[in-house]
Amino acid sequence: MRFVGICQYDGSNYSGFQSQKNASSIQDYLEFAIGSIGTLEGRINYAGRTDAGVHATGQIFDFLTNNDRDTNQWLKGLNSLLPNDISVSSIQKVSEKFHSRFDAINRTYSYVIYVGKAEPIFFRDYVYWEKNKIDLDIMRDEASHLIGTHNFNSFRGSKCTSKNPVRTIKSIDITKKENFIIITLCANAYLYNMVRIIVGTLLEISKGSSKNINAILNSQDRKNAGNTAKARGLFFTGAEYKKIDLDISSRISNPLSFLMSSRI
């Protein structure tokens, strides 16, 4: 039988979600917890591979087991074994054919920026600190050109191994609350570092750079885009599926909801 779960984590102290040799990962801790409660058949699947320092409010994972425990037992058991910076918010039984990665039709990321002259020390690991003024009108106008299906060669990192650079961005929503700016992207899939390069580029343009998104897209050259924004401000907030219904929009479970509740 297969179960699917939603987890949150603070990625500050991890090498990323995916298991790596000689490095601490979210995947390893989840698999250890599952295997301590029951039998884990193979490895877990997951919706998005987040890099070192990237956080998640709605990472989706699934696992195969022969232990037919109640979902509440799984939930309580996993959270009792996980470190305090990883938490599973829900567990449900699904078809054995379900796959968190391959069945996802959309994935959403949010990037948090704090604008101010003083560093926000209590949010240091969760925001990108920007000292200079940002023109939100310019940022939103330039971001609109990214929506749709494009070749995103200009917005992928040098370590990207994908053979196909074409992706479809469904929406880009830019909101502001007090000193915080949240850039939320929804796409069918992403290239390596794509979100962080897009954010870094939009930041440069919104601060007065002569670059423009259309020219960067058309060039298909990474050198024409902006710097890669730091990992600490990036959150993986969820994935969407046709085959199952997941409650990943709960305002109570999403720690970013208090920032996204109003728009300017």
Q: Which residues are catalytic?
A: 51
Closest CA to 40 of 86, 12, 95, 78: 78
CA 225 to chain CA mean position, Å = 21
Angle between helix 26-37 and helix 71-81 axes, rounded to 10 deg: 130
Report CA-CA distances (Å) from 92 to 4, 128, 168, 239, 254.
Answer: 6, 35, 29, 15, 19
* DSSP letters spanning 135-203: -HHHHHHHHHTT-EEEE-GGGS-TT---S--EEEEEEEEEEEETTEEEEEEEES---TTHHHHHHHHHH
Query: Per 3-state DSSP, what percentage of the chain is helix, strand, and coil (rounded to 5)?
Result: 25, 30, 45
Strand 166-177 relative to strand 148-151, pairing:
antiparallel
Strand 55-64 relative to strand 104-115, pairing:
unpaired
Specify burial of residue 83 (Cβ count, 10 A radius: 0-12, 13-18, 19+): middle
3: which residues sit within 8 A by CB, 6+ positions away?
A: 62, 63, 65, 71, 74, 91, 92, 93, 94
